Amino acid sequence: MAIFKQKNNSVVDLSKIELPKHVGIIMDGNGRWAKKRGLPRSAGHSMGAQNFRTIARYCSNIGIKYLTVYAFSTENWKRPMEEVSALMKLFKSYLIEALTDFKDDSIVVKFIGDTTAFNPELQELIERTERESANRDGMVLNIAMNYGGRDELVRATKNIAQQVKDGVLDIDKIDEQLISDNLYTKGQPDPDLIIRPSGEYRTSNFMVWQAAYSELVIMDILWPDFSTNDFDNALEIYSQRNRRFGGI
Ligand code: FPP
Protein backbone atom coordinates (compact mmCIF):
# COMPACT_ATOMS: atom_id res chain seq x y z
CA MET A 1 0.00 0.00 0.00
CA ALA A 2 1.39 3.40 -0.94
CA ILE A 3 1.61 5.88 1.89
CA PHE A 4 1.85 9.43 0.60
CA LYS A 5 3.01 12.24 2.79
CA GLN A 6 3.22 15.94 2.16
CA LYS A 7 6.85 17.09 2.03
CA ASN A 8 7.00 20.86 1.60
CA ASN A 9 5.34 21.04 -1.84
CA SER A 10 6.29 17.57 -2.99
CA VAL A 11 5.34 14.11 -1.82
CA VAL A 12 7.31 11.26 -0.25
CA ASP A 13 5.96 7.94 -1.49
CA LEU A 14 7.04 5.49 1.20
CA SER A 15 6.15 2.51 -0.98
CA LYS A 16 9.03 3.49 -3.32
CA ILE A 17 11.56 3.74 -0.51
CA GLU A 18 13.53 0.89 1.00
CA LEU A 19 12.67 1.33 4.65
CA PRO A 20 15.41 0.94 7.24
CA LYS A 21 14.79 -2.07 9.44
CA HIS A 22 16.11 -0.37 12.56
CA VAL A 23 15.93 3.37 13.27
CA GLY A 24 17.57 5.12 16.22
CA ILE A 25 16.47 8.57 17.36
CA ILE A 26 18.40 10.92 19.63
CA MET A 27 15.47 12.96 20.96
CA ASP A 28 17.30 16.25 21.39
CA GLY A 29 16.24 19.88 21.70
CA ASN A 30 13.53 19.78 24.37
CA GLY A 31 15.32 22.36 26.52
CA ARG A 32 15.82 24.80 23.64
CA TRP A 33 12.21 24.35 22.55
CA ALA A 34 11.04 25.41 26.03
CA LYS A 35 13.54 28.25 26.32
CA LYS A 36 12.38 29.76 23.02
CA ARG A 37 8.89 29.97 24.56
CA GLY A 38 9.99 31.24 27.96
CA LEU A 39 8.90 27.94 29.54
CA PRO A 40 10.72 25.71 32.06
CA ARG A 41 12.82 22.94 30.52
CA SER A 42 10.42 20.36 31.95
CA ALA A 43 7.71 21.74 29.62
CA GLY A 44 9.99 20.88 26.69
CA HIS A 45 10.48 17.35 28.02
CA SER A 46 6.74 16.98 28.38
CA MET A 47 6.17 17.97 24.74
CA GLY A 48 9.08 15.72 23.78
CA ALA A 49 7.44 12.79 25.57
CA GLN A 50 4.17 13.37 23.70
CA ASN A 51 6.08 13.44 20.46
CA PHE A 52 7.89 10.24 21.38
CA ARG A 53 4.50 8.53 21.53
CA THR A 54 3.36 9.97 18.17
CA ILE A 55 6.56 9.07 16.32
CA ALA A 56 6.78 5.58 17.87
CA ARG A 57 3.25 4.75 16.75
CA TYR A 58 3.93 6.21 13.31
CA CYS A 59 7.05 4.06 12.91
CA SER A 60 5.03 1.00 13.83
CA ASN A 61 2.26 1.94 11.35
CA ILE A 62 4.58 2.37 8.38
CA GLY A 63 6.41 -0.92 9.02
CA ILE A 64 9.63 -0.06 10.82
CA LYS A 65 10.67 -3.25 12.65
CA TYR A 66 12.95 -1.81 15.36
CA LEU A 67 13.01 1.67 16.85
CA THR A 68 15.46 2.77 19.54
CA VAL A 69 14.92 6.10 21.30
CA TYR A 70 17.47 7.78 23.56
CA ALA A 71 15.46 8.95 26.56
CA PHE A 72 18.04 9.31 29.36
CA SER A 73 21.79 8.87 29.17
CA THR A 74 24.24 7.72 31.85
CA GLU A 75 25.46 11.36 31.80
CA ASN A 76 22.01 12.97 32.23
CA TRP A 77 22.17 12.47 36.04
CA LYS A 78 24.49 15.50 36.04
CA ARG A 79 21.53 17.78 35.26
CA PRO A 80 19.93 19.87 38.03
CA MET A 81 17.92 17.77 40.49
CA GLU A 82 14.59 19.41 39.54
CA GLU A 83 15.10 18.51 35.88
CA VAL A 84 16.03 14.90 36.68
CA SER A 85 12.96 14.58 38.97
CA ALA A 86 10.70 16.07 36.28
CA LEU A 87 12.05 13.52 33.80
CA MET A 88 11.47 10.63 36.24
CA LYS A 89 7.84 11.76 36.70
CA LEU A 90 7.41 11.95 32.93
CA PHE A 91 8.86 8.49 32.42
CA LYS A 92 6.42 7.14 34.96
CA SER A 93 3.32 8.73 33.44
CA TYR A 94 4.31 7.89 29.86
CA LEU A 95 5.11 4.31 30.74
CA ILE A 96 1.68 3.90 32.31
CA GLU A 97 0.14 5.28 29.11
CA ALA A 98 2.45 3.19 26.97
CA LEU A 99 1.11 0.05 28.59
CA THR A 100 -2.28 0.61 26.98
CA ASP A 101 -1.34 2.79 24.02
CA PHE A 102 1.29 0.58 22.52
CA LYS A 103 -0.83 -2.49 23.11
CA ASP A 104 -3.17 -1.36 20.29
CA ASP A 105 -0.18 -1.32 17.95
CA SER A 106 1.24 -4.65 19.20
CA ILE A 107 4.49 -2.88 20.05
CA VAL A 108 7.05 -4.87 22.06
CA VAL A 109 8.69 -2.53 24.58
CA LYS A 110 12.23 -3.19 25.79
CA PHE A 111 14.54 -1.09 27.91
CA ILE A 112 18.22 -0.78 27.24
CA GLY A 113 20.51 0.64 29.92
CA ASP A 114 21.05 0.07 33.63
CA THR A 115 17.49 0.40 34.89
CA THR A 116 18.49 -0.74 38.43
CA ALA A 117 19.47 2.90 39.09
CA PHE A 118 15.83 4.07 38.98
CA ASN A 119 13.50 4.24 41.95
CA PRO A 120 11.68 0.98 42.83
CA GLU A 121 8.32 2.22 41.50
CA LEU A 122 9.79 3.07 38.11
CA GLN A 123 11.71 -0.21 38.03
CA GLU A 124 8.50 -2.09 38.71
CA LEU A 125 6.78 -0.24 35.88
CA ILE A 126 9.68 -0.96 33.54
CA GLU A 127 9.52 -4.68 34.35
CA ARG A 128 5.75 -4.73 33.94
CA THR A 129 5.91 -2.91 30.60
CA GLU A 130 8.48 -5.41 29.30
CA ARG A 131 6.62 -8.41 30.66
CA GLU A 132 3.19 -7.37 29.35
CA SER A 133 4.48 -6.53 25.89
CA ALA A 134 6.88 -9.46 25.44
CA ASN A 135 4.48 -11.69 23.51
CA ARG A 136 3.29 -9.09 21.03
CA ASP A 137 4.30 -9.43 17.40
CA GLY A 138 4.78 -5.84 16.26
CA MET A 139 7.64 -3.37 16.16
CA VAL A 140 10.31 -3.68 18.84
CA LEU A 141 10.70 -0.37 20.66
CA ASN A 142 13.91 -0.04 22.68
CA ILE A 143 13.76 2.78 25.19
CA ALA A 144 17.30 3.72 26.21
CA MET A 145 17.20 4.81 29.84
CA ASN A 146 20.32 5.28 31.95
CA TYR A 147 22.01 4.12 28.78
CA GLY A 148 25.51 4.89 27.56
CA GLY A 149 27.23 3.16 24.67
CA ARG A 150 30.57 3.08 26.50
CA ASP A 151 28.97 1.75 29.66
CA GLU A 152 27.33 -0.98 27.58
CA LEU A 153 30.75 -1.98 26.20
CA VAL A 154 32.33 -2.01 29.67
CA ARG A 155 29.56 -4.35 30.84
CA ALA A 156 29.99 -6.61 27.81
CA THR A 157 33.77 -6.71 28.36
CA LYS A 158 33.39 -7.65 32.03
CA ASN A 159 30.90 -10.34 31.14
CA ILE A 160 33.18 -11.86 28.53
CA ALA A 161 36.26 -11.58 30.77
CA GLN A 162 34.38 -13.38 33.55
CA GLN A 163 33.54 -16.25 31.20
CA VAL A 164 37.20 -16.55 30.17
CA LYS A 165 38.25 -16.45 33.85
CA ASP A 166 35.72 -19.16 34.69
CA GLY A 167 37.16 -21.32 31.93
CA VAL A 168 33.88 -21.53 29.97
CA LEU A 169 35.06 -19.36 27.07
CA ASP A 170 38.18 -19.76 24.98
CA ILE A 171 39.83 -16.38 24.27
CA ASP A 172 40.06 -17.29 20.55
CA LYS A 173 36.28 -17.48 20.42
CA ILE A 174 35.96 -13.74 21.08
CA ASP A 175 34.77 -12.13 17.85
CA GLU A 176 32.46 -9.31 16.74
CA GLN A 177 29.38 -11.52 16.98
CA LEU A 178 30.20 -12.46 20.57
CA ILE A 179 30.54 -8.81 21.53
CA SER A 180 27.18 -8.00 19.84
CA ASP A 181 25.64 -10.89 21.76
CA ASN A 182 26.75 -9.35 25.03
CA LEU A 183 25.05 -6.00 24.40
CA TYR A 184 21.55 -4.96 25.48
CA THR A 185 20.48 -5.25 21.83
CA LYS A 186 21.41 -8.93 21.58
CA GLY A 187 19.62 -10.60 18.65
CA GLN A 188 18.58 -7.32 17.02
CA PRO A 189 19.95 -5.89 13.77
CA ASP A 190 22.19 -2.82 14.06
CA PRO A 191 20.47 0.52 13.34
CA ASP A 192 20.50 1.37 9.63
CA LEU A 193 19.55 4.97 10.26
CA ILE A 194 20.14 7.28 13.22
CA ILE A 195 18.23 10.56 13.27
CA ARG A 196 19.37 13.45 15.41
CA PRO A 197 16.99 16.39 15.49
CA SER A 198 18.10 19.77 16.91
CA GLY A 199 21.05 20.23 14.58
CA GLU A 200 23.89 18.91 16.79
CA TYR A 201 26.59 17.01 14.87
CA ARG A 202 27.43 14.26 17.34
CA THR A 203 26.15 10.89 18.52
CA SER A 204 26.54 11.50 22.29
CA ASN A 205 27.42 7.97 23.42
CA PHE A 206 24.42 6.43 21.60
CA MET A 207 24.83 2.85 20.37
CA VAL A 208 28.61 3.18 20.10
CA TRP A 209 29.19 -0.38 18.84
CA GLN A 210 25.95 -0.83 16.89
CA ALA A 211 26.25 2.49 15.00
CA ALA A 212 29.47 1.55 13.19
CA TYR A 213 27.75 1.59 9.78
CA SER A 214 24.57 3.50 10.55
CA GLU A 215 23.59 6.36 8.27
CA LEU A 216 23.35 9.56 10.29
CA VAL A 217 20.71 12.17 9.44
CA ILE A 218 20.97 15.45 11.35
CA MET A 219 17.93 17.70 11.13
CA ASP A 220 17.67 21.27 12.27
CA ILE A 221 14.35 20.79 14.05
CA LEU A 222 13.88 20.61 17.82
CA TRP A 223 12.50 17.26 18.98
CA PRO A 224 9.07 18.53 20.21
CA ASP A 225 8.52 20.01 16.71
CA PHE A 226 9.75 16.92 14.86
CA SER A 227 6.74 15.69 12.85
CA THR A 228 5.87 12.55 10.92
CA ASN A 229 6.62 14.56 7.75
CA ASP A 230 10.11 15.25 9.09
CA PHE A 231 10.46 11.53 9.74
CA ASP A 232 9.48 10.82 6.12
CA ASN A 233 12.04 13.34 4.94
CA ALA A 234 14.71 11.54 6.98
CA LEU A 235 13.65 8.27 5.34
CA GLU A 236 13.95 9.84 1.92
CA ILE A 237 17.43 11.18 2.68
CA TYR A 238 18.40 7.72 3.97
CA SER A 239 17.08 6.04 0.81
CA GLN A 240 19.36 8.22 -1.32
CA ARG A 241 22.49 7.21 0.56
CA ASN A 242 24.85 4.69 -0.98
CA ARG A 243 25.72 2.24 1.80
CA ARG A 244 29.01 0.52 1.11
CA PHE A 245 29.95 -0.95 4.51
CA GLY A 246 33.62 -0.34 3.75
CA GLY A 247 33.43 -1.82 0.23
CA ILE A 248 33.32 0.15 -3.03
C1 FPP B 1 17.44 15.95 25.29
O2 FPP B 1 17.03 17.29 25.10
C3 FPP B 1 16.33 15.20 25.84
C4 FPP B 1 16.35 14.49 27.01
C5 FPP B 1 17.56 14.41 27.87
C6 FPP B 1 15.16 13.78 27.50
C7 FPP B 1 14.40 13.05 26.43
C8 FPP B 1 13.19 12.48 27.04
C9 FPP B 1 11.97 12.51 26.47
C10 FPP B 1 11.70 13.06 25.14
C11 FPP B 1 10.84 11.85 27.21
C12 FPP B 1 10.62 10.48 26.63
C13 FPP B 1 9.72 9.70 27.48
C14 FPP B 1 9.72 8.35 27.50
C15 FPP B 1 8.77 7.63 28.36
C16 FPP B 1 10.65 7.55 26.68
P17 FPP B 1 17.77 18.44 25.91
O18 FPP B 1 17.09 18.63 27.20
O19 FPP B 1 19.23 18.12 26.02
O20 FPP B 1 17.55 19.67 24.97
P21 FPP B 1 18.55 20.89 24.78
O22 FPP B 1 19.78 20.34 24.09
O23 FPP B 1 17.77 21.80 23.88
O24 FPP B 1 18.83 21.47 26.12
Q: Does 175 map to a domain?
A: no
Can you give the residue range of the structural domain that contains 30?
18-147+191-239
Q: Has residue 219 been placed in a domain? A: yes
Query: Is 90's C-beta closer than 6 angstroms to any atom of ligand 1?
Result: yes
In a domain, 171, yes or no: no
The pLDDT tens digits of the residues spanning 2-17 come to 444 445 545 789 999 9
Q: Which atom of ligand 1 is nearest to the CA of 70?
A: 7
Res 235 pLDDT > 90:
yes
**CA–centroid distance, residue 165 to ligand 1 (Å):** 40
Segment 56-84 shows an average pLDDT of 97
pLDDT of residue 9: 47
What is the Cα–Cα distance from 247 to 39, expressed in whole angstroms? 48
Q: Which of 28, 190, 192, 232 is catalytic?
A: 28
Mean pLDDT of 48-64: 96
Task: Return mean pLDDT, the chain.
Answer: 94
76 lines ligand 1 (CB under 6 A): yes
- Residue 40 domain flag: yes
- Residue 33 inside a domain? The answer is yes
Domain count, the chain: 1
198 part of a folded domain: yes
Q: Is 197 in the pocket of ligand 1 (CB under 6 A)?
A: no
Q: Whose CA is nearest to atom 12 of ligand 1?
A: 49
Query: What is the CATH classification number for the domain harbouring 95?
Result: 3.40.1180.10
Active site residue 232: no
Q: pLDDT of 204-229, one tens digit each? A: 999 999 999 999 999 999 999 999 99
Candidate from 25, 26, 28 with most ligand 1 atoms within 8 A of CB, to mutate: 28
In this predicted structure, what is the pLDDT of residue 199?
95
Residue 58, in any domain of the structure? yes
Is the predicted pLDDT of residue 140 greater than 50, yes or no?
yes
pLDDT score at 10: 52
The span from the CA of 210 to the CA of 178, in Å, is 13
pLDDT band (50, 70, 90) for residue 148: very high
Amino acid identity, position 104: D
Contact 144, 70 (CB under 8 A): yes
Is residue 114 a part of any domain in this protein?
yes
The alpha carbon of 31 and the centre of ligand 1 are apart by a number of angstroms equal to: 7
Residue-level pLDDT at 101: 80
CA dist., res. 213 & res. 245, Å (int) = 6
pLDDT of residue 99: 77
Residue 46 and residue 34: Cα distance in Å, rounded? 10
Percent of the chain at pLDDT exceeding 90: 88
pLDDT mean over 16-25: 96
Distance between Cα 115 and ligand 1 center (Å): 17
State if residue 27 touches ligand 1 by the CB under 6 angstroms criterion. yes
Mean pLDDT, to the nearest integer, of 74-103?
92
Q: Find the length of the chain.
A: 248
Binding site membership of 91 for ligand 1 (Cβ less than 6 Å): yes
Q: What is the model's pLDDT at position 22?
A: 98
